[in-house]
Amino acid sequence: MPVTVVPGISSSISAPALAGIPVTHRGVTHEVVIASGHVPPGHPDSLTDWAALARLRGTIVLMMAVERVDAFATALLDGGRAGSTPVALIENASLPSQRVLRTTLAEAAQTATEQQLKPPAIVVIGDVAGFTDAAS
């Protein structure tokens, strides 16, 4: 069966960019980690070291994590990430219905619930998540 390869960029980079959020930025963060949120922290199938991610100073981009924002936020907070860490929840990136919710790590789960955040969405955690188009 023939296949066609179409080059492009991952939603883990493009969704934040469309929201005015660079995943790295000079003088702010030099690292970005992209992780799947399909399996929650503590699950036997999880391959992610959430304590190590919590210790990083850089950006964390979570994909497929919307329905587990509380579990991921709790794991990062328990690992030492500050509750005041900026978070951007980006729903329907690139579509007319795109929505960007800005919050903090401590309030991310509550914001997602109150605002009825639905997939597809990307979760951006780190100082750059506080950037807006004007700031980036």
The structural domains of the chain, ordered by start, are 11-130 (3.30.950.10)
Strand ranges across the sheet with 99-104: 32-36, 59-63, 121-125, 86-91, 99-104
Confidence of residue 133 (pLDDT cuts 50, 70, 90): low
* Whether the predicted pLDDT of 59 surpasses 60: yes
122 Cβ neighbours under 8 A, 6+ residues apart: 11, 12, 15, 16, 61, 62, 63, 89, 90, 93
Cβ atoms of 55 and 118 closer than 8 Å: no
pLDDT of residue 136: 45
> How does pLDDT run across 76-131, given as a tens digit for each residue?
999 999 999 999 999 999 999 999 999 999 999 999 999 999 999 999 999 999 98
- Distance, in Å, from the CA atom of 135 to the CA atom of 128, rounded to the nearest integer, reads 9
| Chain Cα centroid distance, residue 130 | 12
